[in-house]
Amino acid sequence: MITTTLSTLIEMMLDYEVITFNNPKTLIESGLLENEKIDLVISDFIMPYMNGLDLLSLIKEKQPHIIPILLTGYSDKESAIKSINELGLYYYLEKPWDNSELIKVIQNGLDKAKLEEQLSQKLVVIEKKNQEISRLYDLLRRDFDKEMGNVLEFIVSLTNLVEAKDAYTDNHTRRVSDLAIALGKRKSLTQEQLRNIEIGAMIHDIGKVSTPESILNKPGPLTTAEFEIMKNHPEAGARIIRPISALQKPSEMVLSHHEKLDGSGYPHGLKADEISIETRIITISDIFDALYTDRPYRKGMPLDKTLSILKEDADKGKLDQELVGFIFEMAESGELQAIYHE
């Protein structure tokens, strides 16, 4: 009954052909995996013959590019999280799931599949980024345990996806990271705080893997509806990073990097001391780079205009006054221009 209902729902909402099986053995013996290209698979965890993780592993061997989604009970959640790196699990939903959320996850998964096809044509561009990716890898590896090896591959893969998907993000994270570290040093933060800031800045936009490319690269201002979709990326990014215990601090920065001190930010409208100094630094660095560099729909603003906007927001209580002051000091000393190779 459940598979029939879900099949009907997906076909009606997304206009995709859906094939259902109630026993993994029936699927394996059908020859479907050998003879048909499947875009996405949704599997339960507890099933006859084999569990969902074993089935998804077998399916991935036969169809490496398939998008796997797992439905789990609460007691199976830990197994699902541990399987993310091993299986390349795209998403897992706990029972009882919300049908609207499931449809959204499926659509995002199918968008991801299309994106991966496009990525195969961008290998030359991605290859040029290997040096930067290796730097992040080495940064994390020095301090994290052996388990972080798999975690790093996961983060690197997602960072690649974001940068290849979003033309604006290309080098944006590196600039934001460099500026954030410089601000952190002026604030006399500890080495651990600076490390977390660098990681948080590098992955702050990682949630954009779930944002449609048509919105990310739109050559004009976003509509209200499109902006609401874009605003989902901090929470999406935090969901990706939060299961990794060693990245709890950076995950908080990913979640809150669009919050403002006066409560006007998103996603949770945090205020003042509810926003950490590390997050405030990434927020200001992100805003400065967004204003100062080219976007898909406009050229970057002049330095004086960019600084004026930051000061105006600081005066309104949106941004940290001291940190904005540091930006002005860096502009006067030439340190800011050095970061942007000017």
Token pair 């906007």 is found at 309
Give the angle 65-226-176 at the CA atoms, nearest 5°: 75
| Higher-pLDDT residue of 299, 121 | 299
Q: How far apart are the C-alpha atoms of 171 and 257, rounded to whole Å? A: 18
Dihedral, 40, 43, 48, 49 alpha carbons, nearest 10: 50
Domains of the chain: 2-119 (3.40.50.2300), 123-339 (1.10.3210.10)
Average confidence (pLDDT) over 262-286: 95
Q: What pTM was computed for the model?
A: 0.55
Q: What is the mean pLDDT of residues 178-201?
A: 92
Q: What proportions of the chain, in percent to the nearest 5, are helix, strand and coil?
A: 65, 5, 30
Please list the active-site residues: 208
pLDDT for 202 equals: 84
The pLDDT, as a whole number, for residue 169 is 57
Among residues 265, 242, 309, 322, the alpha carbon closest in space to that of 274 is found at: 265
d(CA 136, CA 342): 24
Summarised one tens digit per residue, pLDDT across range 15-37 is 889 999 999 999 999 999 999 98
**Which position has the token pair 């805003």?**
287
* 246, amino acid identity: A
State the Cα–Cα distance between residues 285 and 187, nearest whole angstrom.
14
> What does the alpha-carbon distance between residue 125 and residue 129 come to, in Å, rounded to a whole number?
7
Is the per-residue pLDDT at 242 higher than 70? yes
Which residue do the tokens 């954030």 mark?
180
Nearest by Cα to 165 from 205, 115, 114: 115
Task: Give the residue, 327 or 90, on which the prediction is more confident.
Answer: 327
pLDDT in tens, 151-185: 556 666 666 666 666 655 557 888 898 999 999 99
Q: What's the pLDDT at 98? A: 87
Q: Is 56 exposed, middle or buried (0-12, 13-18, 19+ CB in 10 A)?
A: buried
| CA–CA dist 156, 137 (Å, integer) | 8
pLDDT at residue 147 in the model: 56
- State residue 67 phi and psi, 5-degree precision: -95, 110
pLDDT score of 123: 62
Q: Is the pLDDT of residue 276 over 90?
A: yes
What pLDDT does residue 136 have? 67
| 56 Cβ contact partners less than 8 Å away, ≥ 6 residues apart | 41, 43, 68, 70, 83, 87, 89
Contact 279, 265 (CB under 8 A): no
β 67-72/91-94 pair status: parallel
Mean pLDDT of the chain: 84
| Between residues 1 and 142, the one the model is more confident about | 1
